[in-house]
Each structure stands twice: as structure tokens, then as C-alpha cells.
């Protein structure tokens, strides 16, 4: 309800801004638009059509637009459209006012051959900082770091350090941590803003800094970086190269973006669909989803073919068909649960990963226990319900075996994909469910055939 109210207010604000734009009322527009929080400015901007946005560019300076675009950076898919509709010099000036890491993210949404044009039009200092970052491989620490940080020398006083901090505070992305480097640019220590504030002005930086610095390497995977930030509860992490040279920092807002991106990626895999797809075109949406659906369709046909091989058995004991979906559905659920645990474990840093053999054994035992309890329960229920405990035993034992195999597959498949260099999230929930259907049907009718042949 609160979210609906907020959207309603944004719609009203958008209408108000559109009226001011249509009346060409520059003074009232600036007063009204700039009075909104940056997040609301961004939402209003997104709701406007291209004609209104073009008018806004003539009313607001590149710096004012850049403040709003720091928020819009989260809606990265639309950035190309926004940048290409701007005058190139205006866009370059706007990007030059942004923090380096955010400017890099936006430039990377443009066609590769367009990027040099914007860099040439940009302030030389900012363009140099962007060039230092933009070549790093995507989804690494280097690709999400910023070079706007405060660094100090160990042989200076707190008084001089505070003067440097004050002069650099406007450009730095964060001032809560300052990093101490030597003459070669190597990271030797860190201290917080609190350390500086409470220390005597004549104290040397080397006497109050901490030389136990938690760092990440420029080539580290962004997911590993996010785990480090989470574990240590830091607002920023220094990024170094193999020679311990300080290259930049990664701030908490970028860490949150990474966590959201990784969570979305995992969920997309489990659902076998890109949950971030923004198209409103049903044909485009269907085009993106069809490959998985067609693949699963053929895998599902294997299940249907398998059932057809047991037509004779079903004709002799038609009651068996009643419980097919019960067994396949329960096994599919168990397999998806195991898959989620395995993908989560694989996504953890190396230091947190447990031995995969132990994990597989754990999932096997979990499947056996879950299958045993579920199997006994359904055996009793079917035995009483149908007055046939032989049938109950068939269903119960099939349930035990199907859940155990599904649990094992749910953990083995993503581990195998990870070892082969593929994204383990590709082992999606629908894939595991369909695979479980196939194995469950095979188990169920094999057990039923054995029981019926030997006990009836």
C-alpha cells in the first residue's frame, strides 16, 4: 500500500514537472525539480518522454544532471538511450562530474567505438582515471573500483592530514577511511576518520594507523569482494595489484549492487529466465524464454516415452497412475532444495567452501532421512486410504529412492558444471525438476514391477 502511494506521488510530481516544461518556465522548473531528493528526481526523469528530457538538458547543468545520474546508474539498461540522446559534449561533461566507477559503468553500455569520442571530449584528468579502470575484465574488483579516495603518507602529522582530507573531501567518494601509502604507492596502513578526529594534531600518522589492512586484488571476482566486505562489515575496501600498490577502493554502494546482481543471477538460474528482462514486448520476452522451454520440452518427452514403456504394467494396475505426479512432484521439490544449497555453497569464497565430498555426502544423508520419513508417511496414508499396504509399500519405497536420487542430482549437477567452468546457476530449478521427473518415473515403475511380480 505504501509503495502504491509513493508511485502515485511520483506520478503527480511528474505531471507537475511536465506542466512546467510545457510552459517553458525555467525558474519555477529549477526550483521545483531541484527541491526533490535525488532519487525522486531520477524517478521523474525516467517517467518523462524524450522531448521532455531534451528540454531538461537545456535547463540543468551537466553537474546537476550527474548528481541524478549517480542514482540512475542502478537502471543501467536504459543508460545508452539517455546518453545517445544528449549532445555529446554535454554527456561527456556530465560523465566527467560523476564518480569514476559509475562513469565507467555507463560508458560500457555504449557501443565500443563510441567510447573514445566521449573520452576525448572529457576533462583530461577524469578521462585518464576512466581509462585506468575501463580495461579491467567485467565483474572483477578492478571493474567496480573507484580511484577517488584519500591517501596519506606515514611521515606526516594529523594536522597536515586533516588539511589534505579537507581539500580532497569534495572529490573523494568516501572519507570515512584514509589509506597510507609509501613513496612507491604501496599500501602500508589505514585509519578511519574517527582516528584522525580524536588524535592530537602533532601525532604522526604512522603512530595511529593500523598496518593490518584487509585488501582485495584487482583481479578478484566481484562476488568474492562482496563476501569480504560483508564479513568485515567495511564501508570500503582498498584494491591492490600483485605488488601491493594501491589502485583504488570499492565502496559499500557498489558492494550492495554486486550482491543484488549476484542474487538476481542465481534466481534467474533457478527460474531458467532472466528476471531482469525489461522488455514490455511479449514477443521479445518469449524469444528469451523459449530456448530453455524447448530444451526442457525434449527432456520432458523422455519422461513421456519412459511412461509409455510401462503401458502394460499400468493396464494391469491402473491405480499406479494415480500416484505418478505425487512422486515426481515431491522428488522435484527435493531436488530444487538441494540445488539451491549447492549453488549457495559454490558462490561462497574459497575460504568458506567446505569439502565438496562432505557436502555431497550430507545431501545424500539428508535425502535418505527425508525420503524415509516421507516414504513411511505416504505408505501408511495409502495403505489405510486404499486398504492395500502392498501398494503403500510401493509408493513409500519409490518416494524414498526418488527423493534420495533427486537430492544427489541437485548437489552433483551444479558442482560438475562449476568444475567444467560453467555457471552453476545454469543448473536451473526447471532443469532439475524435469530431470527428477525422468528418474522418479523410472524408479517408481521399476519398483512397482518388481513388487507386483514377486508379491502378487
Q: Say whether both 40 and 82 belong to one domain.
A: yes
Q: Say whether both 116 and 31 belong to one domain.
A: yes
Q: Say whether both 300 and 423 belong to one domain.
A: yes
Domain count along the chain: 3
Q: 75 lies in which domain range? A: 2-139
- pLDDT per residue as tens, the chain (456 positions): 556 666 778 888 889 999 999 998 888 999 999 999 988 998 899 889 999 999 999 999 999 999 888 887 655 667 888 899 999 999 999 998 888 888 888 888 888 888 999 999 998 888 888 888 888 888 888 888 888 899 999 999 999 999 998 888 888 888 889 999 998 999 999 999 999 999 999 999 999 999 999 999 999 988 888 888 888 888 889 999 999 999 999 988 888 877 766 665 554 555 555 545 545 567 666 666 666 667 667 766 777 777 777 777 777 677 888 888 888 888 888 888 887 777 777 766 554 445 667 778 888 888 899 999 999 999 999 889 888 888 889 999 999 999 999 888 888 887 777 777 666 655 556 677 778 888 888 898 889 888 887 765
Q: Say whether both 308 and 407 belong to one domain.
A: yes
The CATH code of the domain that includes 160 is 3.10.580.10
Candidates 264, 242, 248, 228; CA nearest to 76 is 264
DSSP 8-state assignment for residue 78: G
Q: Say whether both 155 and 126 belong to one domain.
A: no
Q: Say whether both 122 and 7 belong to one domain.
A: yes
Round to whole Å and give the CA distance between 366 and 244.
45
Cell numbers representing residue 205 in the block: 600518522
> 153 has which bridge partners?
181
pTM, two decimal places: 0.58
Last residue of a domain, one of 139, 160, 185: 139
274 part of a folded domain = no
Q: Say whether both 112 and 15 belong to one domain.
A: yes
Last residue of a domain, one of 139, 171, 189: 139
User: Based on the number of CB atoms within 10 Å of its own CB, is 215 exposed (0-12), middle (13-18) or buried (19 or more)?
Assistant: middle
Last residue of a domain, one of 139, 167, 192: 139
User: Based on the number of CB atoms within 10 Å of its own CB, is 154 exposed (0-12), middle (13-18) or buried (19 or more)?
Assistant: middle
276 part of a folded domain = no
Round to whole Å and give the CA distance between 243 and 213.
15
> 375 has which bridge partners?
none
Q: Say whether both 98 and 12 belong to one domain.
A: yes
Amino acid at each position: 500500500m505504501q509503495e502504491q502511494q509513493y508511485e502515485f506521488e511520483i506520478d503527480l510530481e511528474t505531471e507537475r514537472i511536465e506542466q512546467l516544461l510545457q510552459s517553458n518556465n525555467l525558474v519555477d522548473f529549477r526550483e521545483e525539480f531541484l527541491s526533490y531528493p535525488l532519487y525522486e528526481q531520477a524517478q521523474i526523469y525516467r517517467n518523462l518522454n524524450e522531448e521532455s528530457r531534451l528540454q531538461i538538458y537545456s535547463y540543468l547543468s551537466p553537474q546537476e544532471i550527474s548528481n541524478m545520474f549517480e542514482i540512475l546508474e542502478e537502471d543501467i539498461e536504459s543508460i545508452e538511450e539517455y546518453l545517445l540522446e544528449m549532445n555529446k559534449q554535454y554527456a561527456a561533461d556530465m560523465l566527467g562530474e560523476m564518480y569514476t566507477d559509475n562513469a565507467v559503468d555507463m560508458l560500457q553500455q555504449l557501443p565500443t567505438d563510441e567510447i573514445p569520442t566521449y573520452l576525448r571530449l572529457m576533462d583530461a584528468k577524469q578521462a585518464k582515471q576512466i581509462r585506468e579502470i575501463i580495461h579491467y575484465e567485467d565483474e572483477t574488483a578492478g571493474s567496480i573500483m573507484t580511484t577517488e579516495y584519500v591517501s596519506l603518507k606515514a611521515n606526516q602529522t594529523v594536522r597536515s592530514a586533516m588539511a589534505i582530507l579537507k581539500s580532497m573531501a569534495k572529490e573523494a567518494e568516501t572519507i570515512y577511511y584514509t589509506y597510507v601509502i609509501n613513496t612507491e604507492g604501496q599500501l602500508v596502513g589505514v585509519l578511519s576518520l574517527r582516528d584522525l578526529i580524536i588524535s592530537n594534531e602533532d601525532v604522526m600518522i604512522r603512530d595511529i594507523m593500523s598496518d593490518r589492512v584487509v585488501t582485495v586484488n584487482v583481479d578478484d571476482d566481484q562476488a568474492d569482494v562482496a563476501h569480504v566486505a560483508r564479513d568485515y562489515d567495511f564501508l570500503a575496501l582498498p584494491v591492490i595489484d600483485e605488488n601491493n600498490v594501491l589502485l583504488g577502493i570499492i565502496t559499500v554502494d557498489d558492494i550492495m549492487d554486486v550482491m543484488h546482481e549476484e542474487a538476481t543471477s542465481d534466481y534467474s538460474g533457478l527460474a531458467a529466465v532472466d528476471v531482469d528482462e525489461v522488455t514490455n514486448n511479449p514477443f521479445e520476452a518469449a524469444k528469451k524464454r523459449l530456448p530453455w522451454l524447448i530444451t526442457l520440452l525434449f527432456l520432458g518427452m523422455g519422461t513421456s516415452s519412459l511412461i509409455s514403456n510401462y503401458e502394460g504394467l499400468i493396464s494391469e494396475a491402473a491405480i499406479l497412475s494415480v500416484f505418478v505426479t505425487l512422486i515426481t512432484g515431491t522428488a522435484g521439490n527435493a531436488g530444487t532444495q538441494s540445488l539451491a544449497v549447492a549453488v549457495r555453497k559454490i558462490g561462497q569464497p574459497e575460504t568458506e567452501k567446505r569439502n565438496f565430498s562432505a557436502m555431497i555426502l550430507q545431501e545424500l544423508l539428508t535425502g535418505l532421512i527425508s525420503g524415509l520419513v516421507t516414504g513411511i508417511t505416504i505408505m501408511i496414508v495409502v495403505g489405510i486410504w486404499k486398504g492395500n499396504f502392498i501398494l503403500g509399500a510401493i509408493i513409500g519405497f519409490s518416494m524414498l529412492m526418488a527423493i534420495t536420487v533427486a537430492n544427489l542430482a541437485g548437489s552433483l549437477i551444479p558442482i560438475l558444471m562449476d568444475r567444467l567452468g560453467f555457471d552453476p546457476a545454469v543448473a536451473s530449478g526447471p532443469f532439475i525438476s524435469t530431470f527428477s521427473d525422468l528418474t522418479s518415473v523410472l524408479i517408481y515403475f521399476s519398483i512397482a514391477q518388481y513388487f507386483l511380480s514377486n508379491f502378487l
